[in-house]
Structure 1
Amino acid sequence: MAAPTFADVVPIKRISSHQYSISLEDEWCIGSVPNGGYVTSSFLVVARTHMSQTHSTRSEPHPVNLHLEFLRRTSVGEAIFTVQDVKLGSRISNLHITLSQPKHPGDTVREDKAQGYITMSNIATEEGLSLDTEYTLSSPQALPVNLPILGANNLDENYTIRPADPFPQFRRAAQCIQIFLVRPDKRGPSRPKSIIDQWVRFSPKGVPNGRWTNDALGFLVDMFPQIVESYINPESEDAALGAQSQQQRRDSTKKPKVNGGRPFWYPTLVLNLDVKKLLPEEGVEWLFVRVRAKAVKNGRFDLDIEVWDETNELVATSTHASLIVDASRNIAGRSRSKTSKKNNDSKL
């Protein structure tokens, strides 16, 4: 049996030539809200399906650029994706896609939850000027890795597995990816808290048997240890990685807790994705991701993400604009399985 890919976890139904349905599932949620990266990858699947089925003669099956704006909280359940063909070209086509859901359970009227523009092309047949810019990851350099040893033993000389998210019941989507971080004894002063390096494997249903394809890039660029937490709650991450002594763990319980010890929620406002490389159709086991934040200020922060493969080729880049809010904003007016009629989805 082939290893599962992202297309296997988001079965898509074609309603008409320009409308599609995907069921957003609870296991991919942060709190009560489907993870933004999971939703982004759903947009990628819709765009690929649309060009492959409705415009099959154009041979432009690959999203190469995406700009997505999250207008309101999405919900578990059916999501309708409506596609507008903004421009159909011989090499590049542009789609506008809207995700809509009922404001309240049982409503017949839907409201827009997210909208995006996606540029479609055929990465496999692209031609044109190519130059070696000698671009590499900026300082600090990525530490070398032995992936066979890392996969077999959950650690190698420089990386170790991140056993679990500090808030696993709240960040359920984090169980669908296996993350390996730089070992605490290898971090050093040259690696600021504002940068996270990770090797990752796709783990649908918590089993690391999946493979990364281009469909999954949206999810991949939105799933990592939260940089804000490395500043305000470093004890949880260090404890998970075994970096704390018993005395440090005892001392950490005496420190004042940011936000009263409650988890934060980091909703994405805008996500941009630029795809540089087409991964194999059957997918790859490992990808490297660097996440960097430049400024965290007044409850807003930015993220720059780079995705690299085992051959040291750049696969994709992404930028985010995000908020920092109390986790109660995520679940306000909702339960895990049902949305209250009192919910005001105009608020994040």
Structure 2
Amino acid sequence: MTSPHTQTFEDAITVTPVSSHEYTTNLHPDWTIGAVPHGGYTMSILYRLATTHFKHTHPTRHNSQPLPISMQITFLRRTAVGPAVLTVEDSKLGLRTSTIHVTLSQDDDSKPDGKKRTARVVGYITISDSVSDVGYSHPSMTWGLYPPMPGGPPEVIVRADDVKLSQKDGSETSKWKQTGPTHWSKFRKVEHQCITFGPTNEYKQPGVLDQWARLRTVSSDASAAAGNGKWTNETLPFLSDWFPAALEEVGAEALSALSSSSASKPKIPPFWYPTVTLNIDFKKSLPPQGVDWLYSRVVMKSVRNGRMDIEVIILDEKGEIVALCSHIGLVVSIERNTSGRKYGKDAEKANL
């Protein structure tokens, strides 16, 4: 049975047990930005690692339904397309919550002969389950987005492998316009995996970015099952780190500050926005069958000395909080991404 988030995504986050606390995975080229796998996609692999670890090594804990409720992840070094080793340390095994320390390691690409393995991503994941995760709720809490979102998701025409604005929401009076994939999608392959819509200029609100998104997976493997998918719990880490319109604004301002004299558009984006840390608090589980739309409110308070803070609030169509996310990211030259690496067609030829 095909997963709601599509078989393409399922294949890209596959985790295979090697022993009780060691696993393997393969970072897929379709989920990259240049030469580096996307950080949110990498965190979706770690989400799958957490659930796989408890089902494989601690099958009786958490009612056999392990559910990550928080992730605190640090990106130490660039990851790379290809094999990776995942290790787990059981920091605490409890009745209501358990916490594990996870590490994603890969062979050191600067030492191809030595095959020295280095940690690329580390962090903590806290696990609970739907049976144990119960207690007092505050139904009268009146928190809401401010300013309010411009409106619900746009009306779209859904095709077998694409989603387009309907004639109504593609008109000049529409509140929404498509913001991704962008013109950089050949370099940032991950852009093809999600379709995003943001407010038109008339409805754009200062200081915030509003985004409605749908999962649409694409695969370079012609035999893979791609197409429109639904958001599931395992896709949330990816979405928490995906807001192309916000980063385009940062990049445009940074490029303007450099006073570039070139009038032509470069073939690849001038900047890379690597994640340093990303914390996610999962507030609400999505239904097993998934959902079509999720909304993100993205706020940046300061971009200083090439370092930026990013807050992301993910809501469902009912306006209920699904996840709260906090980032520290960098704005660096794109050479920091591609230096010493092959990417795109060159990387595909190298792997033949």
Tell me the TM-score normalised to structure 2 length. 0.82
Partner secondary structure for residue 233 of structure 1: helix
State the AA in 2 paired with 1:134: T
**Residue 160 of structure 1 pairs with residue 182 of structure 2:** no
Match for residue 249 of structure 1? none
**Residue 4 of structure 1 pairs with residue 15 of structure 2:** no
**CA distance 1:266–1:232, shift in 2 (3 Å):** closer
1:269 corresponds, among 265, 276, 295, to 276
**Equivalent residues of 1:7, 1:215 under 8 A apart:** no
State the AA in 2 paired with 1:144: G
Aligned-partner Cα distance in 2 for 1:227–1:146: 18
**Residue 319 of structure 1 pairs with residue 326 of structure 2:** yes
**Residue 300 of structure 1 pairs with residue 307 of structure 2:** yes
Q: CA deviation at 1:128?
A: 0.8
Taking the TM superposition and a 5 Å limit, the aligned residue runs for 1:197-212 are 197-205=210-218, 209-212=228-231
State the AA in 1 paired with 2:53: H
Q: CA deviation at 1:228?
A: 4.6
Match for residue 179 of structure 1? 196
Aligned-partner Cα distance in 2 for 1:142–1:218: 22
Aligned-partner Cα distance in 2 for 1:163–1:90: 43
**Equivalent residues of 1:178, 1:208 under 8 A apart:** no
Aligned-partner Cα distance in 2 for 1:57–1:87: 15
**CA distance 1:97–1:231, shift in 2 (3 Å):** closer
**CA distance 1:70–1:257, shift in 2 (3 Å):** farther
Aligned-partner Cα distance in 2 for 1:310–1:121: 25
Uncovered stretches (5+) of structure 1, i.e. residues with no partner: 237-253, 340-348
Aligned-partner Cα distance in 1 for 2:5–2:313: 23
Aligned-partner Cα distance in 2 for 1:61–1:321: 28
Partner secondary structure for residue 165 of structure 1: coil
State the AA in 2 paired with 1:283: G
Taking the TM superposition and a 5 Å limit, the aligned residue runs for 1:22-37 are 22-37=25-40
**Residue 102 of structure 1 pairs with residue 121 of structure 2:** no
Q: Could you list the per-position Cα deviations for residues 20-74 of structure 1 after superposition, in whole angstroms to 9, with x for gaps in the alignment?
A: 1110011111110000011111111100111122111112511101100000100
Q: Could you list the per-position Cα deviations for residues 93-125 of structure 1 after superposition, in whole angstroms to 9, with x for gaps in the alignment?
A: 000000000002464321100101000001354
**CA distance 1:146–1:305, shift in 2 (3 Å):** closer
Aligned-partner Cα distance in 2 for 1:27–1:298: 31
Q: Which moved more, 1:116-125 or 1:38-47?
A: 116-125
Taking the TM superposition and a 5 Å limit, the aligned residue runs for 1:1-348 are 2=2, 3-5=4-6, 6-59=9-62, 61-104=66-109, 105=112, 107-123=114-130, 125-132=132-139, 133-139=141-147, 141-145=148-152, 147-149=154-156, 153-155=164-166, 156=169, 157-162=174-179, 164-187=181-204, 191-192=205-206, 194-205=207-218, 209-233=228-252, 256=261, 263-336=270-343
Partner secondary structure for residue 51 of structure 1: helix
Aligned residues: 315
**Equivalent residues of 2:180, 2:245 under 8 A apart:** no
Q: Could you list the per-position Cα deviations for residues 301-337 of structure 1 after superposition, in whole angstroms to 9, with x for gaps in the alignment?
A: 0000011011211000100001110001100011126
Structure 1 ranges of 4+ moved more than 6 A: none
Uncovered stretches (5+) of structure 2, i.e. residues with no partner: 220-225
Q: CA deviation at 1:8?
A: 4.1
Q: CA deviation at 1:166?
A: 3.1
**Equivalent residues of 2:104, 2:121 under 8 A apart:** yes
Partner secondary structure for residue 131 of structure 1: coil
Aligned-partner Cα distance in 1 for 2:125–2:21: 14
Q: CA deviation at 1:164?
A: 2.7
State the AA in 1 paired with 2:310: L
Tell me the TM-score normalised to structure 1 length. 0.83
Q: CA deviation at 1:160?
A: 2.2
Percent identity between matched residues is: 37
**Equivalent residues of 1:306, 1:314 under 8 A apart:** yes
**Equivalent residues of 2:12, 2:26 under 8 A apart:** no
Q: Could you list the per-position Cα deviations for residues 222-245 of structure 1 after superposition, in whole angstroms to 9, with x for gaps in the alignment?
A: 1112535315528x9xxxxxxxxx
